[in-house]
């Protein structure tokens, strides 16, 4: 009953899409896409048929994976306008991008170079792409600076990338990345969803074998990621191993890249 007001709301396209979906079921939601959303309660919702928009973070993750491995891939079922902030930064790093109506081609035919990134609310560079592009900058030439303005715990992935040879120094909300041009396979652990995606990208680009634990974080936000990458030629598989700590526990999942 009554009016609910959400302040400091996220403004990404999927927030607008969620509101549109709920409104198509009879909800009364106003302001989605701004930082103030107003919801007037209704007595009931009804069924609907709705087409969900493509996930721009999933698309952005594949764009970075292509760049890190210097591949050439056409990513279908995307909305290029939703990817503009990601596209602009990748182009500065040296990635070639060609946009079509509902697809985007990504390829690399030259060196990757440094850049500076500051995360910001939409339409700025998304914090959910920060760890993935940091992995790419580890492979670029020069010193890059990333400033995280959204989520204070975003840099938890840094220690794992260091195990793979990354040269990253974190001071508060700023990370200094010295591009080494290469990464080495190592056993690592996903500490959150986007960190896990970054480690998969690192494993694809690294020499040797990378084993990633706690991939349930990754599976929370990516559907059959290993299958899609394998279809592109990646040497990646999902394996189950017994938990050595307690044999009574369920098997823990890992991904080997």
Q: HEC string of the chain?
A: CCEEEEECCCCCHHHHHHHHHHHHCCCEEECECECEEEEECCCCCCCCCCCCCCCHHHHHHHHHHHHHCCCEEEEECCCHHHHHHHHHHHHHHCCEEEECCCEEEEECCCCCECCEEEECCCCCECHHHHHHHHHHHHCCECEEEEECCCCCCHHHHHHHHHHCCCEEEEECCEEEEECCCCCECCEEECCCHHHHHHHHHHHHHCECCCEEECCHHHHCCCCCHHHHHHHCCCCCEEEEECCCCCCCCCCEEEEEC
Q: Are residues 174 and 248 in the same domain?
A: yes
Q: Tell me if 210 is assigned to some domain.
A: yes
pLDDT at 256: 75
Does some domain include residue 50?
A: no
Residue-level pLDDT at 134: 98
Query: Given this model, what pLDDT does residue 250 score?
Result: 53
Cβ atoms within 10 Å of 225's Cβ, excluding its own: 23
* Count of beta carbons in the 10 Å neighbourhood of residue 81: 11
154 and 223 share a domain?
yes
- Domain match, 80 and 183 both: yes
My answer on whether 15 and 120 are in the same domain is: no
CA neighbor of 63 nearest in space, from 110, 95, 102, 111: 95
Tally of domains in the chain: 2
Distance, CA of 84 to CA of 201 (rounded, Å): 21
106 and 233 in a single domain? The answer is yes
Q: Is residue 249 in a domain? A: yes
Is residue 46 domain-resident? no
Supply the pTM of this predicted model.
Answer: 0.92
- Characterize the bridge pairing of strands 103-107 and 72-76: antiparallel
Same domain, 31 and 77: no
- Whether residues 27 and 105 fall in one domain: no
Mean pLDDT by 10 residues, the chain (257 residues): 97 97 98 97 98 97 98 98 97 98 97 97 96 98 97 95 97 97 97 97 98 96 96 95 60 70
Which of 223, 233, 162 minimizes the C-alpha distance to 198?
A: 162
Residue 152 lies in a domain: yes
- Count of CB atoms situated within 10 Å of the CB of 250: 9
- Residue 106 and residue 205 share a domain: yes
Residue 49 lies in a domain: no
Yes or no: say if 190 and 218 are a contact pair by the CB < 8 Å rule: yes
Domain extent at residue 228: 56-256
Residues 78 and 12 in one domain: no
């Amino acid at each position: 009953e009554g009016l609910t007001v959400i302040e400091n709301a996220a403004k990404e396209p999927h927030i607008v899409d969620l509101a549109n979906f709920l409104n198509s079921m009879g909800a009364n939601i106003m302001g989605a896409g701004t930082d103030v959303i107003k919801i007037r309660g209704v007595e009931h919702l009804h069924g609907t048929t709705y087409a969900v928009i493509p996930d721009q973070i999933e698309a952005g993750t594949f764009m970075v994976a292509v760049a890190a491995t210097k591949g050439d891939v056409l990513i279908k079922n995307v909305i290029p306008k939703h990817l503009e902030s990601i596209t602009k930064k990748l182009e500065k790093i040296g990635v070639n991008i060609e946009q079509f109506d509902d697809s985007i081609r990504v390829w690399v035919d030259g060196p990757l170079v440094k850049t500076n990134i500051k995360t910001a609310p939409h339409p700025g560079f998304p914090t959910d792409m920060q760890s993935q592009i940091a992995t790419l900058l580890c492979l670029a030439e020069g010193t890059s600076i990333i400033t995280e303005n959204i989520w204070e715990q975003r840099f938890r992935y840094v220690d794992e990338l260091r195990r793979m040879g990354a040269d990253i120094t974190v001071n508060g909300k700023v990370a200094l990345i010295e591009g080494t041009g290469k990464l080495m396979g190592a056993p690592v652990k996903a500490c959150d969803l986007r960190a896990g995606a970054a480690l998969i990208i690192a494993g694809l680009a690294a020499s040797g074998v990378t084993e990633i634990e706690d991939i349930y974080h990754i599976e929370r936000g990516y559907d059959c990621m290993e299958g899609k990458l394998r279809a592109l030629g990646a040497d990646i598989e999902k394996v189950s191993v017994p938990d050595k700590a307690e044999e009574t526990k369920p098997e823990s999942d890992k991904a080997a890249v």
